[in-house]
């Protein structure tokens, strides 16, 4: 019977981008709204600010993730091309290098040599990519996936404080936005921890602390200047 296992590292490509996008969507939009609300802006101004923050933030996240992850992908391709050239130029030296890697991980010299020979015969470039360069399917850069995940998750995160700003009473809207956003961040921390197999309380504390700090800072700026920012 075939034994199939699914590991959390297989989610790392989209999980990192999704968590980052959702967290940024909640924190940046909520912080901006709290700052504007603290400056005694009208509800119309508040909502226009929130919508602009959602659209601009989602596009910025998509562009930023695509460019940064694409740079990583370009580096990986360059390293693979160089490794492929080295395999064609001096395969014996590359075989010795692979053998040394396995021996350094605890295999005996004879066994390390056998493993290197067999993996080289099966897929030489794949063996060097994985064991020399640290490039694998689970961790390889996927620019479009990261960009779409970041943009979508940012938009979802930004909708939460924006919805509260639209529905909450004008009196005390700052408290409503901050409270709902902190609750959303706590839920996000739980979801991210569960999906990634991390400690739940540490994840919740991390995201809520920085969210609270960001909102407190913008609220202070809004009250200081007393005008929409």
The average pLDDT across 54-71 equals 88
pLDDT, residue 155, reads 93
Confidence of residue 59 (pLDDT cuts 50, 70, 90): very high
Q: Which residue has the higher pLDDT, 18 or 153?
A: 153
For residue 37, the Cα-to-chain-centroid distance in whole angstroms is 29
DSSP line for 209-223:
HHHHHHHHHHHHHHH
Give the pLDDT band of residue 183 (cuts 50, 70, 90): very high
Q: 170 vs 47, 58, 165, CA distance in Å?
A: 12, 27, 8
Q: Which pLDDT tens digit goes with each residue over 118-144?
A: 988 888 888 888 887 777 665 566 778
pLDDT score of 96 more than 50: yes
Residue-wise DSSP of 23-90:
HHHHHHHHHHHHHHHHTT--HHHHHHHHHHHHHHHHHHHHHHHHHHHHHHHHHHHHHHHHHHHHHHH-
Q: Which of 25, 55, 16, 18 is CA-nearest to residue 211?
A: 25
- The yes-or-no verdict on residue 2 having pLDDT over 50 is no
Please determine, for residue 77, whether its predicted confidence score (pLDDT) is greater than 70. Answer: yes
Model confidence over 6-55: pLDDT tens digits?
A: 544 444 555 666 777 888 899 999 999 998 888 888 888 889 999 999 99
Cα(72)–Cα(80) distance, integer angstroms: 12
What tokens appear for 151 in the block?
A: 């943009």
pLDDT for 7: 45
Q: Which of 155, 213, 204, 157 is closest to 34 using CA atoms?
A: 213
pLDDT digits (tens, 9 = 90+) for 4-20: 445 444 445 556 667 77
Residue 21 has a pLDDT of 82
Of the candidate ranges 67-81, 103-117, 214-228, the one whose mean pLDDT is the lowest: 214-228
Distance CA 212, CA 158 (A): 16
* SS3 assignment, position 187: helix
* Residues 56, 54: Cα–Cα separation, whole Å: 6
pLDDT value, residue 158: 93
Percent of the chain at pLDDT > 70 equals: 88
Confidence of residue 3 (pLDDT cuts 50, 70, 90): very low
Residue 206 pLDDT: 87
């Amino acid at each position: 019977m075939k034994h199939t296992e699914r590991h959390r590292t297989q989610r790392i490509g989209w999980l990192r981008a999704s968590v980052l996008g959702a967290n940024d969507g909640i924190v940046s939009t909520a912080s901006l709204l709290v700052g504007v609300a603290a400056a005694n802006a009208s509800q119309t101004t508040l909502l226009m600010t929130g919508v602009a923050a959602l659209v601009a933030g989602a596009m910025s996240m998509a562009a930023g993730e695509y460019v940064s992850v694409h740079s990583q992908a370009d580096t990986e391709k360059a390293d693979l091309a160089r490794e492929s050239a080295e395999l064609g130029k001096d395969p014996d030296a590359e075989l010795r290098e692979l053998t040394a890697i396995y021996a350094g991980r605890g295999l005996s010299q004879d066994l390390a040599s056998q493993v290197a020979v067999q993996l080289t015969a099966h897929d030489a470039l794949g063996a060097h990519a994985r064991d020399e360069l640290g490039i694998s399917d689970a961790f390889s850069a996927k620019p479009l996936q990261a960009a779409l995940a970041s943009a979508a998750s940012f938009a979802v995160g930004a909708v939460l404080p924006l919805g509260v700003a639209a529905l909450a009473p004008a009196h005390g809207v700052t408290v409503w936005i901050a409270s709902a956003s902190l609750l959303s961040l706590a839920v996000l921390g739980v979801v991210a921890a569960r999906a990634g197999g991390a400690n739940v309380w540490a994840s919740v504390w991390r995201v809520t602390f920085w969210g609270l700090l960001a909102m407190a800072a913008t609220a202070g700026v809004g009250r200081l200047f007393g005008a929409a920012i």
